[in-house]
């Protein structure tokens, strides 16, 4: 006599595997979309880096100018 739980467990395992496959596909698609977003925003990152460097240079020059005017 067969165990009645074997068939039920088999069905549940099939559902779990199917759902895990769907989850994996969704995660792969999400990763692909995120990669596209990162590539699309690359120019924004470059512009942000330039602005940051410019801001640091301006700050440095302002401090140098202040120090120079204080010594005179």
Q: How far is CA 49 from CA 25, 35, 44, in A?
A: 35, 20, 9
The predicted-structure confidence for 13-49, as pLDDT tens digits, reads as follows: 999 999 999 999 999 999 999 999 999 999 999 999 9
Q: Model pTM greater than 0.75? A: no
Q: Which of 34-43, 46-55, 61-70 has the lowest mean pLDDT?
A: 61-70
Alpha-helical (H) ranges within the chain are 4-40, 42-71
């Amino acid at each position: 006599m067969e165990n009645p739980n074997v068939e039920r467990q088999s069905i549940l395992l099939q559902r779990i595997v199917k759902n895990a496959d769907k989850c994996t596909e969704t995660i792969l698609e999400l990763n692909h979309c995120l990669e596209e977003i990162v590539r699309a925003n690359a120019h924004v990152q470059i512009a942000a880096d330039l602005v940051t460097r410019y801001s640091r240079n301006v700050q440095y020059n302002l401090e140098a100018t202040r120090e120079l005017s204080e010594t005179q």
